[in-house]
């Protein structure tokens, strides 16, 4: 049986199935449950954010990613931004923060332009109307 160093207590143990020693298994399970809970609620967090949210060592999060215990951490199967290929912040939108901001800015700008255009149309309309009235009076 291969000997391994327990990543939690740094002691050597006979590695059977788990990557931590039998003594640390309970703690590891508790951490796993916490990480799992955080990920269920917020699946788009990266490993660092998960470790903060779950109050678990980031090394532990990384370990679980390596072991394939958790798979929906951003680092494992990153959703890429459909526009620039950077890591996406939203699984559904497939956009990175920068592109999302750009897109939002564009939407706001477009909306503003539409509003401006409406205003112009109204003004032009009024002017045409006034002119018609003027011409009608002249007749």
User: Which one of 19-27, 42-50, 56-64, 107-115 is the stretch in contact with Zn ion (CB under 5 A)?
Assistant: 19-27
Examine residue 105 and tell whether it contacts Zn ion (CB under 5 A): no
Least CB distance from residue 81 to Zn ion, whole Å?
Answer: 3
Count of residues near Zn ion by CB under 5 A: 11
Cα 18 to Cα 24, 65, 114: the distances in Å are 10, 14, 61
Cα 5 to Cα 23, 28, 88, 118: the distances in Å are 12, 14, 35, 70
Q: Give the integer Cα–Cα distance in Å for 51 and 33.
A: 12
Examine residue 21 and tell whether it contacts Zn ion (CB under 5 A): yes
Examine residue 19 and tell whether it contacts Zn ion (CB under 5 A): no
List contacts with Zn ion (CB under 5 A): 6, 8-9, 21, 24, 81, 83-84, 86, 96, 99
């Amino acid at each position: 049986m291969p000997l391994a160093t327990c990543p939690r207590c740094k002691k050597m143990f006979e590695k059977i199935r788990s990557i931590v020693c039998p003594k640390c298994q309970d703690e590891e399970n508790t951490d796993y449950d916490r990480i799992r809970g955080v990920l269920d609620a917020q699946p788009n967090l990266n490993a660092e954010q998960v470790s903060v949210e779950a109050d678990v060592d980031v090394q532990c999060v990384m370990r679980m990613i390596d072991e394939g215990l958790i798979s929906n951490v951003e680092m494992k199967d990153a959703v890429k931004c459909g526009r620039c290929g950077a890591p996406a912040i939203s699984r559904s939108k497939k956009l990175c923060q920068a592109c999302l901001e750009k897109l939002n800015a564009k939407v706001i700008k477009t909306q503003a332009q539409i509003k401006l255009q409406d205003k112009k149309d109204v003004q032009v309309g009024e002017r045409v109307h006034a002119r018609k009235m003027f011409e009608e009076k002249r007749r």
